[in-house]
Structure 1
Amino acid sequence: MEPDPVPLPLSAFQPARDPYQVLGVASSASAAEIKAAYRALVKQHHPDAGGGDDTILALNAAWEVLGDGERRRRYDGHRGRGAVAASAASSAAAASGTGRGVRRAASRRGGQDDGLLLAWLQQVYAPIDRLLGQVINPFPAQLRELAADPYDDRLMDVFCGFLAQSQAKIEKVEALFGSLPCPASAKGFGLSLYHCLSQVKDALQELERYTMGYVDGYLHDGREMLREAKQRRSLLKQERRRLEL
């Protein structure tokens, strides 16, 4: 059983960009207004409609914060305290008449960014990778067992049990992915991880459709999606080593 992620301090939940600005809504917007703005922007900027991956990543990060009531309350509280602190820091820097404070602040931000990246890799990516592996790696053996006789009720029950367990793992993965925004320095990595998760989720849906009607097309599509997800997961593991250098 995988250990639960260690909670981060509240300051770690500060996203790289103000989610209210990303979604184009006021901080007083209702949950329904935020949801409507998010849906409209995702539809407008989806890659299939000619949008960019960076924009979708930013929209998803904003929704992860504002779409959850508890996370939004935490962010609002932190945002208010951050605005007061930023104002005080700006006044102090202007009064000093030197750039030393600014340079020190930039250095601290660089260290904080590195710390956030390491924390995100350890507490978000690492458990997600383990859970994805628990879905992707056993699939070929599960499929071989079912292939012996797909119409055997016992074999199909075993395969359906595997799909149900896999779906439960993907729900955990989605919760982990939304638990902490991906640092700006790893936005490409975060987007690739999101695509890997989406491929596995879609594959499970296709495989479940196959179990309902034995349509070979669903089985083929699900198998290919998991194969691609396996390749993407392998590339992510290589990229993680580069990020940690």
Structure 2
Amino acid sequence: MERGLEGLSYYEILGVSRLATTAEIKQAYRRLVKYHHPDSPLARKDGASAERIRQINAAYAVLRDPQARREYDRQLGSRQVLPRPSPPQTVSQEAVLREAWVRQVYTPLNRVLGPLLASLKPQLNALSADPFDPDLLAAFGLYLEKCAQKLAQAQQIFRRLPNPSSLGGVASRLYYALNHLEDALEELSYFPLNFDDRHLHTGQELFRRAEGLRREAMDAYAKSSP
């Protein structure tokens, strides 16, 4: 069975669930193709390689074909997708896992996400003074690069530990908040390429949804507290 970048499955390369529909797989593939376009600032920052693009194309070639996908699924076997709950634990074990996850994942992740989610509006206000000004565009590009670094940091924090079962709802909301942020930065990165305001509006809406999910996660955590 073939595996992709750094041992990832084709689903992980495209960033979709094994239950993803054909339409969702196509959407993820198109998003990655746009992200890795040579003119994309995020792609340049990420240092995308020809090998990475080849792996993305290879993953899509298999997963878009129903028969090839069924055969691949048979070879792949059952795998877990983030967020990863821990196996059932005793009450005392659950309490220990919960304390560790809150300390090492939930708390530091919120410290990164809070300022990041609040940072877009001032940047858009500054850019609105003259969206075609080279200096403002350069500053906006630098801002997006810093956001990408913060997002990578947040994603790394999220992967530190599997979430305890009692905090599955919290972890799930944070996971999708991170996904929305990734999509938002992709959308915003297209504006300096074509000056289409729709990219700014879409990016802003995705930031808003990510913040909503983060607040839902905080509420779910508060309700789950012993």
Q: TM-score band (shorter)?
A: 0.5 to 0.7
- Residue in 1 that maps onto 2:8: 35
With over 3 angstroms needed to count, the CA separation of the structure-2 counterparts of 1:61 and 1:239, relative to structure 1, is: closer
Q: 1:60 aligns with which of 43, 61, 82?
A: 82
> How far, CA to CA, are the matches of 1:47 and 1:122 in structure 2?
36
Task: Write 1 or 2 for the structure with the bigger share of helix.
Answer: 1
Which runs of 5 or more structure 2 residues have no equivalent in the other structure?
A: 25-77
Q: What RMSD in Å do the two structures reach over aligned CA positions?
A: 3.2
Q: Which structure 2 residues correspond to residues 48-197 of structure 1 after superposition, within 5 A?
A: 58-61=80-83, 109-197=90-178
With over 3 angstroms needed to count, the CA separation of the structure-2 counterparts of 1:57 and 1:184, relative to structure 1, is: farther
> How far, CA to CA, are the matches of 2:93 and 2:12 in structure 1?
32
> How far, CA to CA, are the matches of 2:152 and 2:194 in structure 1?
25
Q: 1:228 aligns with which of 199, 209, 213?
A: 209
Q: Are the aligned partners of 2:173 and 2:217 in contact in 1 as well (CA < 8 Å)? A: yes
Give, as a single letter, the amino acid of the residue that structure 1 aligns with 2:8. K
> How far, CA to CA, are the matches of 1:147 and 1:37 in structure 2?
40
Which runs of 5 or more structure 1 residues have no equivalent in the other structure?
A: 1-28, 51-55, 65-105
Tell me how many residue pairs correspond in the alignment: 168
Q: Are the aligned partners of 2:171 and 2:217 in contact in 1 as well (CA < 8 Å)? A: no
TM-score by length of 2: 0.64
> How far, CA to CA, are the matches of 1:223 and 1:119 in structure 2?
33
Q: Which structure 2 residues correspond to residues 191-230 of structure 1 after superposition, within 5 A?
A: 191-230=172-211
Q: Are the aligned partners of 1:120 and 1:182 in contact in 2 as well (CA < 8 Å)? A: yes
- Residue in 1 that maps onto 2:65: none
Give, as a single letter, the amino acid of the residue that structure 1 aligns with 2:96. G
Q: Give the C-alpha shift of residue 170 in structure 1.
A: 0.5
> How far, CA to CA, are the matches of 2:131 and 2:90 in structure 1?
57
Cα deviations across residues 116-160 of structure 1 (Å, max 9, x unaligned)? Answer: 112111210111111111211021111101001011111111111
TM-score by length of 1: 0.60
User: Of the two, which has the highest radius of gyration?
Assistant: 1
> How far, CA to CA, are the matches of 1:239 and 1:196 in structure 2?
14
